[in-house]
A and B are shown apart, each in its own frame.
Chain A
């Protein structure tokens, strides 16, 4: 089991590392092969799909993406002819976008997993929640009082976070019907309480549970957190791995959950051969024995009747919360989440402007950063820009770090400040040497000079070369060892670019509890957007 988790984490890493937009070679349609655009958590189905390939002659070729990105790919028509099917944790989001919805063909549900709260057993007991009915309001009250902390994925990047946000909003609104855009304002104060306890964000479910485990065992310097909001399957998998100091108690809120139903969905553009392959594969995956196999390997619930649940799922009746059906409602919720509800971010960008950045590279950096000011206004870009209340600092560096330039985005009327950021990043120019570690130290010094604001604090490092000025990695690590616990918990998200040292970037990510991103073969803008999910 432990190996399984490590495997998932590794796959997730590789996949997010080389960003999904750039599949190396265009895969051609052929009978016996289904090209599927899918949620990354489906990597754990590999053994099942290998057996399916043997039994049916239909092989699955996955390209992983997030729910919003995937919906955008569908809506733009870029999936037509490139993929035969999509397989997300649910079709609720693409179904709400007319241009994506009309591309969805025959959909066959394969398995289920509700999004629930997992809390370290002792914490659940201390809160008196073990074996008792608990509502989302109870949870929000305890969250507001600071009685526990949790991690959740970014709702614009990952379906588990998205489902949790929508579910919690519907439950706290208490209207009994699907939440509408107009009701979001009214429920925002309640949601703020709930999200006050969120101590960690992540762009993918896999990374989140991995980070939880690393923090719980002390492998990671970040603050320990008490629980996770995630798919039941992810939480059960963590428990089954035996790698946690204490197991998670699963809290199924009695007022309802949102359940992922994993419809394997043929695209309307798919060929006749793909249609047949889709039929063969879905028939196979819904055979009772295969459903049982899926249940025991992935801890997801069966989609068909007559396959009894194993005891790990508990016997509770799970009420399903109504889920909005309109893009307006989703947009209103996501905007409120980022600009008003969640704890704001404190982000420092340490960016290389050395001579080797001259030309395309500095151009790419400028446009990638200005994309985060709202210049990139597509489905994904809209929610990956700098958010209301966020504090952003840029430390451009070459032979030495430059003076930090800081901005605070107001909650409303953000445009003027965003424009200032835009003109600042667009004036970046290249020249001089590369002082990576002096510049990172400068970033930590800056953060050290500020009081603890309870923000999600992180550092993004973008460099295209080897360090050749000032202190080295060892010197940096030595300095880090002497810093406060709060600063040790600030993750660095290094971006591999140009001739940057892969080893050093990975080390930085590891020792700070961050994550390295690879922009060597993919679009820099996409990578910057992806990192937003972790901030």
Chain B
């Protein structure tokens, strides 16, 4: 089976099951079929392609496992999805994972992969924002987008055509990072985590007072965009296919970009650039074993060399940094192996309250 996933997170709107990708075992590799146990998991759609990949299927089969993976949004997994049907849950963020852990009273979890949030953009935009002091060189060989400086612009609702000496992109629309819909998508929640940290004077938002203080500014970041898509694949695809005019700055998971680069299918054009927000937030894909062989899946993803290598191929950073470093070297990727300016997201409750408050403004 080739990688053919284009899961829209609208899926995410679905409380219960969404897309079941039935993993066919790799085919006819031997007459004596070993005993294979089916394991059911549910998690973010950005991992569906990984579980559907035939090399991944084979690796699990080698351990006597067949994983059936359903896609659902992290917020849904933590709230509305009936987890009794599953052996493991695999949300894309720590806050959602913490909520499930609390609800199910589970202490052992696995964090086999993670991805920093990143901003996909284009060279002329980088030049323009560098001149504004919004983009600068990071501590390593990568560039960062300074969220504090960026919020100064968005606070004044600055349009692109109001930036001085802007001949590259004189669009009559606000300088805004394109995100997904905050009402149902995890990547928007991750963006909110980083932006609210800065808006709160470089502190994780943790009190109702702080929430109230940052919410008006945070709400604008989403509402001013107007219509947003509900899957992280949507805006990234627009970025790849429609280019700078439509989406000059797009909030994505680093893994989405790296995955495309590793594929080497030409979709990453020479003018495309990847920036890291400063600070950024890590989307930590956290596997929570619920029952049965769920635990074994978590362990294998963290320790099986083949599976770890495959995860890196899909652009995920794994707990052994050497694997990603090797991938970066092999494919000459322009991504940092180490990120320094990383902050923690707020607690599940705080994040949910802020997302709900923003969602209520869509009237």
Contact = CB atoms under 8 A, between A and B. Distances in A.
Physical interaction between A and B: yes
Interface of A: 92, 95-96, 101-102, 104-109, 112, 135, 171, 174-179, 255-256, 259, 261, 263, 265, 268, 272, 275, 279, 282-283, 286, 301-306, 317-328
A323 B10 CA distance: 18
Given A105-B11, A303-B241, A320-B245, A177 B157 contact: yes
Contact of B226 (A101, A104, A324): A324
A175 B223 CA distance: 13
B266 A178 contact: no
A135 B8 CA distance: 34
Contacts of A174: 172
A268 B14 CA distance: 7
Given A95-B227, A174-B172, A175-B157, A106 B18 contact: yes
Interface in B1-26: 4, 6-8, 10-11, 13-14, 18-20
B227 A92 contact: yes
A322 B225 contact: yes
Given A102-B13, A279-B19, A322-B225, A259 B246 contact: yes
A368 to B, nearest CB: 33
Contacts of B172: 135, 171, 174, 176, 255-256, 319
15 contacts: A92-B227, A108-B6, A108-B8, A171-B172, A176-B159, A176-B172, A177-B157, A177-B173, A177-B174, A255-B172, A305-B240, A305-B269, A317-B245, A322-B173, A326-B362
A10 B355 CA distance: 48
Nearest to A282: B6
A478 B36 CA distance: 84
Interface string B227-262: 110110010011011111111000000000000000
A43 B224 CA distance: 35
A256 B171 contact: yes
Given A105-B10, A176-B159, A177-B174, A325 B245 contact: no
A259 B242 contact: yes
Contacts of B7: 106
Nearest to B14: A268
A319 B4 CA distance: 29
Contacts of A324: 226-227
Given A104-B10, A174-B172, A305-B266, 10 more contacts: A105-B14, A106-B7, A176-B158, A177-B224, A256-B173, A261-B238, A283-B6, A317-B245, A322-B174, A324-B227
A303 B7 CA distance: 15
B105 interface: no
Interface in B168-226: 169, 171-174, 176, 223-226
A469 B230 CA distance: 61
A325 B157 contact: no
Nearest to B124: A317
A343 to B, nearest CB: 27
B227 A178 contact: yes
- Residue among B10, B157, B228 with the highest chain A CB neighbour number at 10 A: B10
- Residue among A171, A318, A325, A327 with the highest chain B CB neighbour number at 10 A: A325
B242 A323 contact: no
B363 interface: yes
B19 A275 contact: yes
Nearest to B243: A317
A265 to B, nearest CB: 7
A324 B230 CA distance: 15
B326 interface: no
A322 B176 CA distance: 10
A324 B363 CA distance: 10
B265 interface: yes
Given A177-B157, A256-B171, A256-B173, A263 B242 contact: no
Contacts of A104: 10, 13
A275 B226 CA distance: 29
A437 B269 CA distance: 66
Contacts of B243: 317
A366 B332 CA distance: 74
A112 B247 CA distance: 14
- Residue among B160, B169, B228, B247 with the highest chain A CB neighbour number at 10 A: B228
Contact of B267 (A178, A283, A306, A327): A306
Given A175-B157, A320-B246, A323-B226, A105 B18 contact: yes
Nearest to B184: A101
Contacts of A108: 6, 8
Contacts of A306: 265-267
B242 A328 contact: no
A101 B228 CA distance: 13
Contacts of A263: 8
